[in-house]
Structure 1
Amino acid sequence: MTAATNVVWHDTKVTKESRCAHKAQKPCILWFTGFSGSGKSTIANAVEHRLAELKQHTYLLDGDNVRHGLNKDLGFTDEDRIENIRRIGEMSKLFVDAGLIVVTAFISPFKAERQLVRDLVDKGEFFEVFMSTPLETCEERDPKGLYKKAREGKIKNFTGIDSEYEPPENPEVTLDTSTMTVEECVDRVISHLKDNQIL
């Protein structure tokens, strides 16, 4: 694939600041990361629902959903995972520019790609939410039957089994759904947004 050349950024009259003012809110990315089955999608959904109740403008990006459309051409090799997160990061940046609170739920196993997304937006607009639920708990849950298939060799490059997961070193929020309820997890995320003047 050859990168485009002769491309010039076109400035627009409606700015990020004006979009945020119109929505009367501050934008950010809530980046949920963790093993499959750790509770990313469940908690992300619950957080978005709470934000909707608070009259905030949001958009939820979920790993499986994005792979049904934008990223349906990508597999699960390390290279494809990196490109998957790069595309999602660029899309999240656009949503932040639109003035939205972006809630994402992606395994996103590599530190470098999560840092890449953090670097795309302004300081204070990216919050890494680490789902620290132990791998053993996630495998016991196995909500999609993927761990069983991975153990049987039917799925290759499965995070936690034959593909590495690099846990965050300094996440803004850490949640463990093996010890915390959904409500407790949501409360902690919302408290963090309040503490950081997003809400």
Structure 2
Amino acid sequence: MENVFWQKQAIDKSLRQRLNGHKSLVIWFTGLSGSGKSTIANALELELHNRGLRTFLLDGDHIRHGLNSDLGFSETDRIENIRRIGEVAKLFVGAGCIVLAAFISPYLRDRERVRFLFAANEFVEVYVKCPLAVCEQRDPKQLYKKALNGEISNFTGISAPYEEPEKPEMVIESDRETVEDAIRKIIRYLEERNCFTI
């Protein structure tokens, strides 16, 4: 971009990680509405916090109340929504935090664009897989009901597509696995990759 330059900073990501005592990364939860993304992300953040790790949770509804309140649910707006979230996650990873990002993020290409913002070991895609029928049955926000009644347009899984991840780091089958199972699985994955140490 013309007339915009990177400013060298005295404190970089590695120094922040050293101060925090652990690596920083983003754990990106994707899946249909009602699949359990936010529930698992919240429970995982609590577990990590209790272990003394610095975390930050980015959740779809929260972001749309503030940063992305100017965006709707058209394909163009969904793309911009995920682009912005990716950049925010990158800032938090740069700050030395473990970021938990819970977003439907329905398009494969958008999730891949976010992945490319990070080093190979800094992005963990968790596909919270759940059959549409189960998500519809859960319907905690009554969104499926509204979508099926024609009150909501461009609703993922009903009138808009969801593209499943091709090679996620992890798949959580939330209709078969408990939240506790999911947390243990993710923690084990992070421990095996020495994410909790420098």
> When the two structures are superposed, what TM-score results if normalisation uses the length of structure 2?
0.97
The match for 1:75 is 72
The match for 2:105 is 108
The match for 1:185 is 182
The match for 1:98 is 95
In 2, the alpha carbon distance for the partners of 1:75 and 1:195 equals: 39
Paired letter, 2:120: K
State the Cα distance separating 1:99 from its structure 2 match.
0.5
Q: Write out aligned runs for 1:123-142 (5 A).
A: 123-142=120-139
Runs of 5+ in structure 2 lacking a partner? none
- Secondary structure at the residue paired with 1:93? helix
State the Cα distance separating 1:177 from its structure 2 match.
1.5
The match for 2:2 is 5
Runs of 5+ in structure 1 lacking a partner? none
The match for 1:57 is 54
State the Cα distance separating 1:196 from its structure 2 match.
1.3
In 2, the alpha carbon distance for the partners of 1:133 and 1:49 equals: 23
Q: Tell me whether 1:195 sits opposite 2:184 in the alignment.
A: no
Give 2:34's match in structure 1, choosing from 33, 37, 41: 37
The match for 1:144 is 141
Q: Tell me whether 1:89 sits opposite 2:86 in the alignment.
A: yes
In 2, the alpha carbon distance for the partners of 1:121 and 1:88 equals: 13
In 1, the alpha carbon distance for the partners of 2:81 and 2:181 equals: 30
- Secondary structure at the residue paired with 2:87? helix
In 2, the alpha carbon distance for the partners of 1:185 and 1:122 equals: 24
In 2, the alpha carbon distance for the partners of 1:5 and 1:15 equals: 24
The match for 1:17 is 14
Q: Which runs of 4 or more aligned residues in structure 1 lie more than 3 Å from their structure 2 counterparts after TM superposition?
A: none
Paired letter, 2:168: P
Identity of aligned residues (%): 52
In 2, the alpha carbon distance for the partners of 1:192 and 1:33 equals: 17
Q: Tell me whether 1:120 sits opposite 2:104 in the alignment.
A: no
Aligned-residue Cα RMSD (Å) equals 0.8
State the Cα distance separating 1:84 from its structure 2 match.
0.2
- Secondary structure at the residue paired with 1:185? helix
How many pairs are equivalent?
A: 196
The match for 2:170 is 173
In 1, the alpha carbon distance for the partners of 2:194 and 2:108 equals: 26
Paired letter, 1:141: R
- Secondary structure at the residue paired with 1:124? helix
State the Cα distance separating 1:5 from its structure 2 match.
3.4
State the Cα distance separating 1:118 from its structure 2 match.
0.7
In 2, the alpha carbon distance for the partners of 1:86 and 1:46 equals: 25
Deviations 1:42-94 (Å, cap 9, x if unpaired)?
00000000101111100000000000000000000000000000000000001
Deviations 1:96-152 (Å, cap 9, x if unpaired)?
000000001000001111111110011110000001111110001000000000001
> When the two structures are superposed, what TM-score results if normalisation uses the length of structure 1?
0.97
